[in-house]
A and B are shown apart, each in its own frame.
Chain A
Amino acid sequence: MPMFPIICRLFATLSVSLALSLPAYAVETLRVLAWPGYADNDLVKNFEKRFDVHVEVSFVSSDDMLREKISANQGGDFDVFAANTAEMQHYISQKLVVPLQLSNIPNTAHQLPRFRNLQAIPGITRHGQVFAIPYTYSEMGLIYDRKQFRKPPTSMAAMWDPRYKGLVLAFDTSSHNFSIASLLLGGSPFQIEDKQFSKVAEHLIALRRNVLTFYTLPEESVRLFRKHSVALLFANYGSQQLKQLRDAGADVGYVIPREGALAWLDCWAITRGVKNQRLAESWINYTLEPSVSEELTRRQGLANTIEASPLIVKSDKLIWLRPVENAQRRAVLWSHIISGDLPEKFLAP
């Protein structure tokens, strides 16, 4: 190849890349992918002012959408994002996230003890490296009618109690219901063994025969709770749901059962394609400032990792969500169960 065209091409490439990178040098941009409510405009503005950068916030509304956005371009489209513990394993396995420098996130020191022991939180560390920092969470406790329960229920098993037949509201979901049923049967909530599946499914059929119904929307649960004098409710929406019921005038209590409450925990992680990791870590550190974290609780009703939730005591067990052994299998079985199929139709005897 003659020398001249090579030089020409080199020069052209150089000038194009120079032109493209110029605006980035002008004002540095941090690209944040988060859930609605995690990065409100005013809070973002404060960060921009303090670090003299531009923050570009995008929102997602489902785990699938999040996976899609982070996977595209090998994480090169965003610097920092929030995902729950069950999802983090996927990003770590796919090497889409990078280990964090905790020394750059000093605010982690002010987090509640529950969130400081990162090794105890499944799915966010691997080989001693930390890949995500908890930001907010919501646990799925039990809401009970104070008039029908002299003493608060202590276990999820109360949902199966024939005394409350037709007075229990469960949530219409495959994953959590299998987790709970498995947990109650003494198994692992997220890893059900093959031979245990029929037993767990049968246990869920028993639940189906004992509940009033399986709800989907929090508003729906409020309506059903009041209309049918419901005694017990599986609070998939946690404290938000408790507030709705109390606002609607229900005399209800909230309890974390002794076997523990399933809880999702959203954590910040940094993509492999991060432009300025130091800046991305500053963002995480910023969201852990009391003024930002407490604002999240005030505005969204979600618990933060800085101040203790009034609904949870230290000893309460929270079971952070993890990937399940086979979500597809659970979904198929659940569709049989919720549709009312008789056990003999889909379960091996």
Chain B
Amino acid sequence: MKFSDHIKLGIGFKFGSLLAAFGILATSLTGYYFYSSSRNMLASATERDLLTSTQVVGRNMKLIIDMIAEDSQLLAAIPVTSNVFNSPDELTAERDKKVLADTFAAMLTAHPEYFQIRLISTSQHGLELVRVDRNGKTLTRVLDANLQEKAHYPYVFDTLRLARGDIYLSDITINHEKGAHSGLNKPTVTVSTPVISSNGKKLGLIVINIDLNGLSRLLKSNLPSTYQLYLSNQWGDFLIHPDATQTFGFDKGKRILIQDSFRPVLSLIHGKGMNVVTNVDEGRQKQDGQVAAFVRLPFGDTIEKRFVILGLSQPLDNITRETTRLGWDTFQIILAFSGLALILSMLVSRIVTGPLNAMVSAINRFSKEHVISTLPLTRNDELGLLSRSFHDMQTQIMAHLSELNENRKALDHLTRHDTLTGLPNRRMFFDRLEHAIASSRRSGKHLAVLFVDLDRFKEINDTFGHAVGDKVLTNVAILLKSSVREVDTVARLGGDEFVILIDMIDDPQHVTTIVQKLHNLFQRALQIDGRDMHVYASIGAGIFPRDGKDANELMQNADQSMYNSKKDGGNTSSFHAFRSEETS
């Protein structure tokens, strides 16, 4: 039992463990793959989103600048602007300038991101004619001696090269132009357009000065608060940076370049692409936990091929948090599925090992009790096949076993019976005799042994042959058997010598009757091959316990009685002790 238990544990445990290990491995691998691909997807989605946002911000910037350009075009086109240059007298000129200044003021009121609007003359080294500055919350018109010469600024000489309606966008710089305005020493960009007379003469230009911080606020207004905005010029100098001290380094005599903080941006500066996203993993190490997207935007007229680089960054924390959550979820899923795999493998192991165990116990039962137990014979799988084969084997073994049994019984019969007559032989007779003596001793009843020896049987054999002799013996056997009770034993000791055990005799006198009856039977002729044949026998009897105290003695005495009868000429019977009662 212990042995089979051990086996059961072995198969089930190994099979289950293998299945569970496979299940857990598969789940873990799938989970890990899912995690890493999702993580990459998350990262690239973030990068894509960031890039899209940056492009949207870029488009917004272009829209805002276009709107400012329209404002400057409007101011350049209104008649009062040209009138300033063509006034017939000082007074009219002053009136026209006043009207224009009011218009500038109205526009500055409508656009808080405008610092300043000016009308600049082509002549007098680019002298300002009308200028309205924003000064904190108020608007100030700058007059007379405070007006300045601006011809040496690119926004003047470059704008004056343009045709009517064209727009010049200056570089983004720190405004160091002195004046009573909020824009002093502030980052700024100017949008300007020439004022051209009806005959094509370049009279001057309209310049709108824009607050870069205001522009940056406008751009950031629709972005999530975690996003940070960057802007650099075409050489990479930071113009907008979350840390204001990192901007306009060139204005303080040093260069703080975007490509030093975000290496991949160098490709945009060199014109090898229009956008770039700094890798998340790269960002983890280098960009202070930021992932950033940058786009190269055309800035100003297209001939000069000026551009700016606009960028948005997002803290990696958000992505890291998402990734951590994803990892934790994946871990939980792996755990759950591993548990499921464990349960399933246990079940499957049971399903498979159950029939195996049933077969093992069937084999055990068969080997111990030779009983064919029920097996899963109807299954269509290998187990069914195994069961059927095993069943066939069992049946065969059973058949062999019963055949062996039959043979053994036949052999047994052979050893205890006479082959010719089918009567018990000497050995069996002695067994029965011993047995009968034993029970006789217990019960106190008598038993008798009758020796029957055919007279002159040798002559029959010699005269008629052995075949006839054998038939005689067979007939005598039948004769003897039919003349005693079923319980009595008729045996052939050999040759023509028979012996009869008569058991459980109440009255020894009864034996005489039997002997007489036998004697009478021998007086009749036997029908052998259609021929009457007279066969006689000499009978000797011995009664237990009177004629012997054990089997041997009893037999000897009975044998002796039979010899006595034989000596008397045969066909007689005699008793051992009471010879006086013998008949003839």
Chain A residues packing against B (C-beta within 8 Å): 61-62, 166, 208-209, 211-214, 216-217, 219-220, 223-224, 227-228, 335-336, 338-342, 344-345
Contacts and interface: CB of A to CB of B under 8 A. Distances in A.
B171 interface: yes
Interface in B57-97: none
Contact of B154 (A224, A336, A341): A224
Contact of A219 (B145, B149, B157, B235): B235
Given A62-B252, A217-B250, A340-B126, A223 B304 contact: yes
A173 B256 CA distance: 19
A339 B154 contact: no
B152 A62 contact: no
A335 B154 contact: no
B254 interface: yes
23 contacts: A208-B152, A209-B125, A212-B157, A213-B152, A213-B157, A216-B250, A216-B251, A217-B250, A219-B235, A335-B176, A335-B178, A336-B178, A338-B177, A339-B177, A339-B178, A339-B179, A340-B126, A340-B148, A340-B153, A341-B148, A341-B178, A342-B149, A345-B146
B54 to A, nearest CB: 24
Contact of A209 (B151, B178, B254): B151
A285 B321 CA distance: 54
B416 interface: no
Nearest to B148: A340
Contacts of A340: 125-126, 128, 148-153, 177
Given A220-B171, A339-B178, A213 B154 contact: yes
Given A62-B254, A219-B235, A227-B304, A339 B152 contact: no
B253 interface: yes
Q: How many of chain B's residues touch chain A, expressed as a range?
A: 20 to 34
Contacts of B251: 216
A217 to B, nearest CB: 5
Contacts of A224: 154
Given A213-B152, A217-B250, 18 more contacts: A61-B254, A166-B157, A208-B149, A209-B149, A212-B152, A213-B153, A213-B157, A216-B173, A216-B251, A217-B237, A224-B154, A228-B157, A340-B148, A340-B150, A341-B148, A341-B178, A342-B148, A344-B145
Contacts of A209: 125, 149, 151-152
Interface in B331-388: none
B254 A345 contact: no
A338 B176 contact: yes
Nearest to B125: A209
Interface in B145-167: 145-154, 157
A214 B171 contact: no
A340 to B, nearest CB: 3
B177 A217 contact: no
A219 B233 CA distance: 11
Contacts of B154: 213, 224
A344 B176 CA distance: 20
A214 B304 CA distance: 19
B297 to A, nearest CB: 18
Closest 9 CB pairs of A and B: A340-B148, A339-B178, A340-B149, A61-B254, A339-B177, A340-B150, A219-B235, A213-B152, A209-B125
Interface centre among B154, B173, B251 (most CB of A within 10 A): B154
A166 B178 CA distance: 23
A26 to B, nearest CB: 31
Contacts, number: 62
A337 B173 CA distance: 18
A214 B252 contact: no
Nearest to B149: A340
Contacts of B176: 335, 338-339
B136 to A, nearest CB: 19
Contacts of B150: 340
A217 B172 CA distance: 13
A228 B154 CA distance: 10
B492 to A, nearest CB: 123
A344 B149 CA distance: 13
Nearest to B179: A339
A217 B253 CA distance: 9
A336 B147 CA distance: 12
Contacts of A214: 152
A212 B128 CA distance: 17
Nearest to A166: B157
Interface centre among A209, A211, A224, A342 (most CB of B within 10 A): A342
Nearest to B235: A219
Contacts of B125: 208-209, 340
A298 B499 CA distance: 141
Nearest to A223: B304
Interface in B304-332: 304
A345 B127 CA distance: 14
A54 to B, nearest CB: 26
A148 B409 CA distance: 140
Nearest to A208: B152
Contacts of B173: 216
Contacts of B149: 208-209, 340-342
A213 B155 CA distance: 10
Nearest to A228: B157
Nearest to A173: B253
A223 B235 CA distance: 12
A15 B481 CA distance: 132
Contacts of A219: 235
B485 to A, nearest CB: 127
A328 B274 CA distance: 44
Contacts of A61: 254
A345 B147 CA distance: 10
A341 B177 CA distance: 9
A217 B178 contact: no
B235 A217 contact: yes
Contacts of A338: 176-177
A164 to B, nearest CB: 14
Interface centre among B145, B148, B171 (most CB of A within 10 A): B148
A220 B158 CA distance: 14
B152 A211 contact: yes
A216 B146 CA distance: 25
A344 B148 CA distance: 11
B413 to A, nearest CB: 111
Contacts of B177: 338-340
Contacts of B179: 339
B152 to A, nearest CB: 5
Contacts of B152: 208-209, 211-214, 340
A212 B147 CA distance: 20
Contacts of A62: 252-254
A246 B147 CA distance: 39
Contacts of B126: 340
A181 B156 CA distance: 25
B238 to A, nearest CB: 13
A146 to B, nearest CB: 24
Nearest to B251: A216
Contacts of B178: 335-336, 339, 341
Contacts of A166: 157
A52 to B, nearest CB: 33
B511 to A, nearest CB: 134
A344 B144 CA distance: 12
A62 B253 CA distance: 7
Contacts of B147: 342
Interface in B243-299: 250-254
Interface centre among A208, A227, A341 (most CB of B within 10 A): A341
A209 B127 CA distance: 11
A110 B247 CA distance: 43
A266 to B, nearest CB: 15
